[in-house]
Structure 1
Amino acid sequence: MNRAGCGPSQRLRALAALAGAALLSALWLLWLLGSTPVGVPVPPPTLVILVWHWPFTDRPPELPSNTCISYGVARCHLSTDHSLLASADAVVFHHRELQTQRARLPLASRPRGQPWVWASMESPSHTHGLGRLGGIFNWVLSYRQDSDIFVPYGRLEPHEGPVPPLPAKKRVAAWVVSNFQERQRRVQLYRQLAPHLQVDVFGRASRKPLCASCLLPAVARYLFYLSFENSQHRDYITEKFWRNALAAGTVPVVLGPPRATYEAFTPADAFVHVDDFGTAQELASFLVGMNESRYRHYLAWRARLRVRLFEDWRERFCAICTRYPHLPRGQVYEDLKGWFQA
């Protein structure tokens, strides 16, 4: 019986089939190795926030890649490099430099669809030139609760552990003020209080300045601190309340927005509001006549809460990245002045 042998052409076809199968197997393996496993989310890209001019200085701070990580914000890079204008995910402009014309808007070079952020922590009374900024900005960063990026001057956070002790209270009331103008409501109120309430005034206005590290220890020796804002506007509660009074461990006597606004941030019994009294003399009598038990009640919040201050512009700008996924695309503030002065 003859056994037919494999001819040369058959062997070549068999080898080609084996080679093709090997190639397909290799390509399949490479695809498996290079693909993302099912169910593993792809991390979002790092957002680049371009700060066109750093607030109040021509020398911006160092901005290493981990700047925002130190504030609990990941994948967020702050930069002041103008060459990134074409590629930045958002550009933020601080109003003071626009107001003084130390910085100008690069309108001619603005990439199509790029979000621009208007930033300011000043009150409307000290904010000028908004009329020429209509139809430019998409988002707002400010202390206003209805801002796209809401950044308060401070807030209260839960606190556990022993309450930091306070020094003995040796004086009645303190006030630190530099901008002292008779037309201001706070100055008028001080003039009305002074005959009935012992108020020690510090700051440039009284030629008794306090160094940065001296302010809180000095104020802590007083029962009350006059947290009088330089102007009264919606949500405008500044460091005069958060740092100078609450962080110092004294009871703030507040002049600013209505009581309800303060109560949105702090317990109702953590402060004394001037609007609760018909006259300055009534307010003074209430403060002077307060007994120790009632005074301790105003400090009871310290057993469960602590003050968190937001004073660093780096942290404020990193907040843009936190809010970025939730911000409205295509929004434009056509009347920025009308919105801010409302």
Structure 2
Amino acid sequence: MSNAGLSSTRRQRAWGGLVGVALLLALWLLWLLGPAPGGAPGPQPTVTILVWHWPFAEQPPELPHNTCTPYGLAHCRLSTDRSLLASADAVVFHHRELETRRSRLPLAQRPQGQPWVWASMESPSHTHGLHRLRGVFNWVLSYRRDSDIFVPYGRLEPRLGPAPPLPAKSGLAAWVVSNFQERQLRAKLYRQLAPHLRVDVFGRASRRPLCADCLLPTVARYRFYLAFENSQHRDYITEKFWRNALAAGAVPVVLGPPRATYEAFAPADAFVHVDDFGSAFELAAFLAGMNESRYQRFFAWRSRLRVRLFSDWRERFCAVCARMPHLPRGRVYEDLEGWFRA
């Protein structure tokens, strides 16, 4: 073979080697960037949840990029930057700011197909202006169990270690109330109980206001706490039950939704329901005449369960990310008021 032929063969072999190396490099990059072995997905894109107006705040809190990581959602980002409206995966609107007209809906700038979330933890009795929101929202975030994003005020979770001892009791019944209105059912029931049961009343509506850090230590000294909701609605069980009573170590005496609703959240023997008694006098006699053995049975759940509170709006809004993959696209609440008041 001539020298020219040898040179051509060498060039072909060299070129073939380069092509082989390039192919191997391409396959390595595909392996690196593509799905992991076993069909697992690659890197998950970050979901951006835009909070249009932070609840009850003049200025929104500082929101680091990893706000949702403590709640097990590493790829969820909360933001209050309204310039992200066009690119946000979902936008959350808190109702109180819409109700008071402190915030308005950017309907003209709404991107097509972008899910909007209506958020409120208030009861229907204290929620107004829903008739103006027909056909606007796709998803709902609330304490209602049938919400798209269900966020309760609290729940019971498995306890990992031994339960702390119950606080020593020096009083019979306590009630903390900030807005006392005679027309409310809770006020009427209190008026009926008072002649038969010693109830120490605290809060802004009484002559004994409590500082924020004083509430739980004060209530903890009492055997019972009047966990009376300001209005009675479906699934409306607030911090009065979870924090003021259970977390403090007092037995909640509840006025709210039916007993069956409370039993969906807590053991049947963890609370006293006013509906179980024919009159306020019977309820007062039951509470005042209870012996220690019977009283301790109300806390049987504490050996295996603990109270977890959901009071931080960051965690509530991060729940949107957790639920997004399971929520229907394109649905619209044409009658939000009708749904919420049902």
SS at match of 1:117: strand
Per-residue deviation, 1:25 = 1.1
The 5 A counterparts of 1:50-129 are: 50-129=50-129
Aligned to 1:20: 15
Unaligned 5+ runs, structure 1:
none
Partner residue of 1:289?
289
Q: Does 1:253 align with 2:253?
A: yes
Q: Establish whether residue 204 from structure 1 lines up as the match of residue 204 from structure 2.
A: yes
Residues 1-28 of structure 1, C-alpha deviations (whole Å, 9 max, x = no match): xxxx4153x3453244224313321320
TM-align CA RMSD = 1.2
User: 2 CA distance for matches of 1:143 and 1:80?
Assistant: 23
Gaps of 5+ in 2: none
| Alignment correspondent of 2:310 | 310
CA distance in 2, matches of 1:281, 1:88: 56
Q: How far has the Cα of 1:58 moved from its partner?
A: 1.6
Q: Secondary structure at the match of 1:108?
A: helix
Equivalent residue number for residue 324 of structure 1: 324
1:6 maps to which of 2, 9, 21: 2
Q: In 1, distance between residues paired with 2:21 and 2:288? A: 87
CA shift at 1:41, angstroms? 2.3
**Alignment partners' CA distance in 1, 2:238 and 2:275:** 18
- CA drift at 1:303: 1.2
Q: What's the offset of the Cα at 1:207? A: 2.6
- TM-score in terms of structure 1 length: 0.96
Which one-letter code corresponds to 2:30 in the other structure? Answer: S
Give the % identical residues.
75
- Once residues 299 and 239 of structure 1 are traced to their aligned partners in structure 2, the CA distance between those partners, rounded to angstroms, is 18
The TM-score with structure 2 as length reference comes to 0.96
* Partner AA of 1:293 in structure 2: S
The Cα shift of 1:161 comes to 2.4
Displacement after TM superposition at 1:158 (Å): 0.9
- Which residue identity does 1:18 align to in structure 2? R
User: Which portions of structure 1, spanning 4 or more consecutive aligned residues, are displaced by more than 6 angstroms?
Assistant: none
Give 1:134's aligned residue: 134
Q: Deviations over 1:253-289 (max 9, x none)?
A: 0000000000000000000000111111111111111
Question: How much does 1:162 deviate?
Answer: 2.3
**One-letter code aligned to 1:6:** S
| Number of corresponding residues | 337
Is the radius of gyration larger for structure 1 or structure 2?
A: 1
Distance 2:160 2:68 in 1: 26
What is the CA-CA distance between 1:30 and the residue it aligns to? 1.9
Pairing of 1:94-243 with structure 2 (within 5 A): 94-243=94-243
- Equivalent position SS for 1:283: helix
Counterpart AA for 2:232: Q
Aligned residue for 1:269, secondary structure, equals helix
Query: Cα deviation per residue 1:33-88 (whole Å; 9 max; x = unaligned)?
Result: 21125534213211100000000002111111221112222211100000111111
CA deviations over 1:115-158 (Å, ceiling 9, x no partner): 11100000000000101111111111000000011000000111
Match of 1:205, SS state, is: coil
Cα distance, 1:324 vs structure 2 = 1.1
Q: Distance in 2 between matches of 1:214 and 1:324?
A: 39
